[in-house]
A and B are shown apart, each in its own frame.
Chain A
Amino acid sequence: MTATKAPSEPRSQQAVRRPGDRIFAGSAKASGVFILLVLAGVAAFLVSEAVPALTAPAEDVPGGEGLGAYVAPLVLGTLLGAVLALLVATPLAVGIALYVTYYAPRRVAATMGYVIDLLAAIPSVVYGFWGLAVLAPALVPFHVWAADTLGFLSFFAGPASTSGRTMFTVGLVLAVMILPIISAISREVFSQAPALHREAALALGATRWEMIRMAVLPYGKSGVIGGAMLGLGRALGETMAVAIVLSGGAGATLNLISSSNPSTIASNIALRFPEATGLGINTLIASGLVLFVITLAVNMLARWIVNRRADFSGAN
């Protein structure tokens, strides 16, 4: 060992290796590698199982028109429901988070925090039944009204569903389901907005809302986007609640309120998997691969949005 060593190497580079440091560094590294392995394993499984469906002749794929035609309405349905959920939940979650951190009396704030976190603990099947039994019938009058007055928009073209088991209802159920995660993360980042900058705004003569706009929202923006992406991930992948509420299976349509809706990828897999055989299974897994790719793309997009103005993030 000493023979191969360059004699001029400075001694100071041989840092002391403490066992505690090595154990910690090793276990942290192992955790990091482990999650990558799991992810790679899932991706490899999806790809290998999807290959038969990807290469099969179009008429053999369920539906008889090829994989693209099979997956396209599902992708549309998945995105419609998830985006609607996000559009409804994000402003609401930001409002809740701001109320809890900067407006509510301290005792109310603590209670509200618990109640919202509780929403996250409810199993999705319960949300499904709630959506089916309570929300869907309750929303029927809105469906009718929307078809009458907003019918010029393709989203509300109608005819209005009489059961309420529509993409619109699904979007609202999903919105309630992703509300806790977005509001919990927003609450966390808002409460960490530096007092230094909040006081700077107040000392300039900012009202409470102006202080929030100057010092809290810009600081929390990337956190809110991160929370929204986690929520979107959950909405994209939600299976049970959608399977219960939505009367899906129809072709691609932007219409949110009619009784013929496209299904979503995850709920379609759950509903079809028990009876699927042979190439049918491969097709379902191929649709799962598409969902995987969509989720990945959404997350990368979110990262890009957050990093675009990293100079101004306040992290430096």
Chain B
Amino acid sequence: MAKRIEVSDLDIYYGDFKAVEGVNVAIEPRSITALIGPSGCGKSTFLRSLNRMHEVIPGARVEGKVVMDGQDLYGADVDPVNVRRQIGMVFQRPNPFPTMSIYENVLAGNRLNSKRMKKAEADDVVERSLRGANLWNEVKDRLDRPGSGLSGGQQQRLCIARAIAVEPDVLLMDEPCSALDPISTLAIEDLMTELKDRFTIVIVTHNMQQAARVSESTGFFNLNGVGQPGRLIEFNPTEKIFSNPDEKATEDYISGRFG
């Protein structure tokens, strides 16, 4: 439950192209870590390397170490499937399974572990997860309806419910609010603040106010130019990043001088 992730000398490639270079960072448990930076700087790529979703793309690979509570996630005997069961992910666009009901969507991850669940137990997981995602009251009367019939914000909270239903150690969020209106965004942000008591949360966002509002630590990614690998320029407590950053580039970015 809520584990610490240490990343050392991580290089991330797409085929021969080095997308991210030399990342060293420690992500603390029970806190929200935000990753900001201009488009194409590798923050999403870095996020996807934390639960080994990066290698789903043909030719994509990683060099370096990602260690979660002493276990190297890229160790030779580590099954990426197990890594992803421990580290949940929420995507930029809400993606509930359209062929499943709301109920089945929440249980999708639990069903994968292919253990038989009693009906009462399944009901329990669904209610707990949907309550955890602040969605229960809105959908409790239509659990058998398709998840794709919900609004965008509700769908995203359904995806969060699906991710937390399997009780992961870490929750990765890749711009979870970028497709949502301000009200839904606020709902998700409130939810994140509640969830950080139980999970380690890493969020990629383009919205700097969002990073400032919700996160304890912030990492700033940047790249020197097109075709160059992205780097983690600065990683510091959010307060420091937004008031008195160590790096000139960080200050330029957050003050809107570029990017």
**B-facing mask of A304-316, CB < 8 A → 1, else 0?**
0000000111101
Residues of A within 8 A of B53 (CB): 199, 202-203
The contact sample of 28 A-B pairs, CB cut-off 8 A, is: A106-B58, A200-B91, A202-B53, A202-B56, A203-B51, A203-B53, A203-B88, A203-B91, A204-B88, A204-B112, A204-B163, A205-B81, A205-B85, A205-B112, A207-B81, A210-B112, A214-B108, A214-B112, A311-B146, A311-B149, A312-B98, A312-B100, A312-B101, A312-B146, A314-B99, A316-B98, A316-B146, A316-B149
Residue of A204, A207, A218, A313 touching B109 (CB-CB under 8 A): A204
- Bound: A197/B147 CA distance, A: 13
Assess whether B128 is interfacial by the CB under 8 Å rule. no
Closest Cβ–Cβ distance, residue A137 to chain B (whole Å): 45
Residue of A106, A200, A206 touching B95 (CB-CB under 8 A): A200
- Bound: A219/B95 CA distance, A: 13
Closest Cβ–Cβ distance, residue B61 to chain A (whole Å): 16
Tell me which residues from 165 to 204 in chain B have a Cβ below 8 Å from any Cβ of chain A.
166
A314, closest chain B residue (CB): B98
- Bound: A219/B98 CA distance, A: 8
Assess whether B43 is interfacial by the CB under 8 Å rule. no
Residue of A202, A221, A314, A316 touching B84 (CB-CB under 8 A): A202
For the residues of B in contact with A, the DSSP-based class is mixed
Query: With A199-B56, A311-B146 given, can you name 20 additional A-B contacts, CB distance below 8 Å?
Result: A194-B95, A196-B91, A199-B91, A202-B56, A203-B51, A203-B89, A203-B163, A204-B84, A204-B85, A204-B109, A204-B163, A205-B82, A205-B109, A205-B113, A207-B81, A214-B97, A221-B99, A311-B149, A316-B98, A316-B149
Tell me which residues from 165 to 206 in chain A have a Cβ below 8 Å from any Cβ of chain B.
194, 196-197, 199-206
Given contacts A202-B56, A203-B89, A316-B149, contact A218 B97 (CB under 8 A): yes
Closest Cβ–Cβ distance, residue A135 to chain B (whole Å): 38
Contact-residue size bin, chain A (C-beta under 8 Å from the other chain): 20 to 34
- Bound: A219/B84 CA distance, A: 23
B51 contacts A215, CB within 8 Å?
A: no
Residues of A within 8 A of B146 (CB): 311-312, 316
Residue of A200, A202, A214, A218 touching B159 (CB-CB under 8 A): A200
Residues of A within 8 A of B112 (CB): 204-206, 210, 214
Assess whether B65 is interfacial by the CB under 8 Å rule. no
- Bound: A314/B97 CA distance, A: 8
A197 contacts B95, CB within 8 Å?
A: yes
Tell me which residues from 87 to 115 in chain B have a Cβ below 8 Å from any Cβ of chain A.
88-89, 91, 93, 95-101, 108-109, 112-113
- Bound: A244/B95 CA distance, A: 52
Given contacts A199-B53, A205-B109, A314-B148, contact A215 B97 (CB under 8 A): yes
Residue of A197, A205, A207 touching B98 (CB-CB under 8 A): A197
Assess whether B145 is interfacial by the CB under 8 Å rule. yes
- Bound: A199/B55 CA distance, A: 11
- Bound: A207/B83 CA distance, A: 12
Given contacts A214-B108, A316-B149, contact A199 B95 (CB under 8 A): yes
Residues of A within 8 A of B89 (CB): 203
A210, closest chain B residue (CB): B112
**A-facing mask of B133-166, CB < 8 A → 1, else 0?**
0000000000001101100000000010011001
Residues of B within 8 A of A214 (CB): 97, 108, 112
Closest Cβ–Cβ distance, residue A208 to chain B (whole Å): 9
Residues of B within 8 A of A218 (CB): 97-100
Residues of A within 8 A of B56 (CB): 199, 202
A196, closest chain B residue (CB): B95
- Bound: A194/B97 CA distance, A: 10
Residues of A within 8 A of B88 (CB): 203-204
Closest Cβ–Cβ distance, residue A153 to chain B (whole Å): 34
Given contacts A311-B149, A312-B146, contact A204 B95 (CB under 8 A): no
Tell me which residues from 197 to 238 in chain A have a Cβ below 8 Å from any Cβ of chain B.
197, 199-207, 210, 214-215, 218-219, 221
Residue of A196, A205, A219 touching B99 (CB-CB under 8 A): A219
- Bound: A312/B166 CA distance, A: 24
A206 contacts B99, CB within 8 Å?
A: no
A196 contacts B108, CB within 8 Å?
A: no
- Bound: A217/B209 CA distance, A: 41
A313 contacts B99, CB within 8 Å?
A: yes
B97 contacts A206, CB within 8 Å?
A: no
- Bound: A207/B82 CA distance, A: 9
A205, closest chain B residue (CB): B85
A204 contacts B91, CB within 8 Å?
A: no
B109 contacts A316, CB within 8 Å?
A: no
Tell me which residues from 70 to 108 in chain A have a Cβ below 8 Å from any Cβ of chain B.
106
Residues of A within 8 A of B81 (CB): 205-207
